[in-house]
Structure 1
Amino acid sequence: MMPTNLTLLERKISNNLNCLYFVNHPVYRIQKDHQLALASEYSLAGNVTEIICDEQQRYHILFVARKEIVLTEKKVAKVTNNQLGQDTVQFLATLGYQFPPAQPAGELSQPTILPSPTELSECPTAYVIIDCEFGTRFRRNGSAKAVSWHVIESPELRASIFQLSAIGFSHHTQTAPFFNRYFDDPNFLPDKKLAGLSATGLTTVAYEAQGDPLTILKAFIQQVIQPQLPLVFWDQTQDMKHIRLLLTQYYQQLTPTEQQLVSRPVTIFDAQAYTNTLINRGNHKVGSHDLPLNGLAALFNISNPHQHNAIWDVQTTELVMVKLAELTHQTPVITTPPAPIALPATVPAVVPSIQTPSPTPQHASHTQVHQLRARGKTYREIAAVTGFSISGINYILKKARSIPTRSESV
């Protein structure tokens, strides 16, 4: 059985109201009178993007800004498709659901934020590289004398963007925008604020003003989203998730024009996913490798002196993309068949003959000793010239028979 895409799913929830998951809509609670009300616990999840029934009859519910939910058949009360193409109110009415009379269907739903139906498989020529740094969010408890900080447990609220950066490029030449902002989230620990103050050099008042989330998001929409350039990330997963979360959270405070801009589809190029494709192509496998940006940069002899600083990581991403582009345009080096090397024929080594000097006849040395002594040389002087020991010289002179010279033998 092939996986099936569905339109609507009602989830059974023990001791509580059932939830309704409806594609392209937020999550609703089904009231006892069958009217629908927004489920507050899903307020940051965004719209439901897909409902899929897999081959094991498990139901996968996907959202814009949270992890998917997987339900077994036992937990599903109702599931269906809008096969007749009815409008929302009519379709839900046929299933017994009602929107509140005072709240039209259009007001209950929010559009999908920054939908990305397709991702680029090749690097675009003009683009904006985006990177985020995050901060853990805490809940502060206690009095002025004793303050305690506890990590917020909700997965959607546990972390948020601390630094949001973007730089535009065209054919690997920098263009607009240049965007680098720090969020002043009151749920960050004080050290985050100190880090932001240090990085910007602003006064506390100025930092808090520039760090207002709504102010940053409006500037981001105008400078980064409005030009409709492809958005490039080194692993978009967390960055896009939290950008969408913030835009969803502040959606109602945006102007109609801004709401329209964040509802338009965006084109995304994930540089890490692209690098994975290159690796898998050569590896003849399909898989995902968690490739650290600065680690891969080091392989290209690129050194980032300020790692995990979003604006510096944007610049590093661009340098890595340049190197990847150079590699993909190079002719591949094909491995040659392995074979042993051909060695030259072995030549027997020629052992040089050792020339031993002919020993000097013993009597010639003795003659020299006698001659030196006849000239009045002392034993010590004779020993220095001939190399004999003094006792040896004494033996030669007194015991050995003197060899006559040529003149004596005549």
Structure 2
Amino acid sequence: MNGRLLVFGGTTEARELLRRGVPAICCVATGYGAKLLDGLENVRVLAGRLDETAMEELIRVENVTHVIDATHPYALEVTKNVRRACARAGVKLLRVTRAKTPLFGDVTAVATPEEAAALLDDGDEKVLLAVGSKELPAFAGVSRAKERLFARVLPTSDVIAQCEALGYDAGHLIAMQGPFSAAMNEQMLEATGAAVLVTKDGGASGGTEEKLRAAQNRGARVILIGRGDEEGATVDEALLWLRREMKLECPPLFPMLLPLEGKKALLIGGGPVALRRAQTLKSCGADVRAVAVSFCEGWDGFDAVVREWRESDLDGAVLAVAATDSREQNRLIAAAAKKRGVPVSVADNAAEGSFYFPALIHCGAAAVSASTGGLDPALTRRLADRLREIWPGIVAEELHRKEENRR
């Protein structure tokens, strides 16, 4: 292993990353966050909030070379501190982000808790606040707050004391630890009589979809405190980055052999990379359909459609390949395919797909594949080239032996 890793965050994303066996120091804000990491091998957990200076000092004292910021998507100040501390210490940083929730139902999006509070001030409906205890002070000035507002918070003594100081009595405080199903959220809306739910977009791990579903079922409107657009990596992308950067070992990919003869394989993109993948799929008997705004030379003999791709192109496909020259386009294709349960390979970001496109070596029906788990594409190509040189001879030799044994 080359270097030392420091992870900031007690989030679902941080835990998922560390469960993959990555050796690291992990900083979490609370003892509860530390408890969630109990039992993980090769992980040293440090609990307590750090400012920018303390972060930089920790990086230097522990000889950290790589940092993952996997803090909560709404912990904006922490993310700024991590970025500045890493820049001053001269270490490599990768931000892990959480996918936003597709919105449905009666949802009004706002940018801040203060904007959400302003929308409530003129009404008289009862409100369920599921925004976390840190945001509750923003709602203190809402008209008839003590009568109308119900707060759902973590069941810790310091949080409850904070809520009591803000004027929430036992009848207006729900101290419970999630996760909460849609049915539980619906029951809480019914029990409080709330016609409005105020929440943040905590993504899938934050139960946002379950909150929206409950509000829709109850006929309640939702005020969603959004988060700005932020560039970052998924857990799988971060794991691949770490393994490449720090020379970490990884288990081999499972070489599942999928029969494609006569089945639809969708390829989106018309450049040389897309063409090579189309040729591989065709050699496996797939019925290849390619969609792109333009195609390079060599696409004769393929079902090539010149236009922008549509999600309906995935209809009937047993697998898909996103190989356009647009990073954002490939991301959207991958998300649409995953939503439909269609295996997808992403040409410019293998970790974003649900399978890695293989380096296929075959002689007739006898086929093998080469892979380095996405860690070293150049090595994969060299291995595949060497295997292509010797594979026909190996196949011929074994077929000859088979014939000899029959005699």
Q: What's the TM-score bracket when you normalise by the shorter of the two chains? A: under 0.3
- The structure where helix makes up a greater share of residues is 2
Structure of greater relative contact order (alpha carbons < 8 Å, 6+ residues apart) = 1
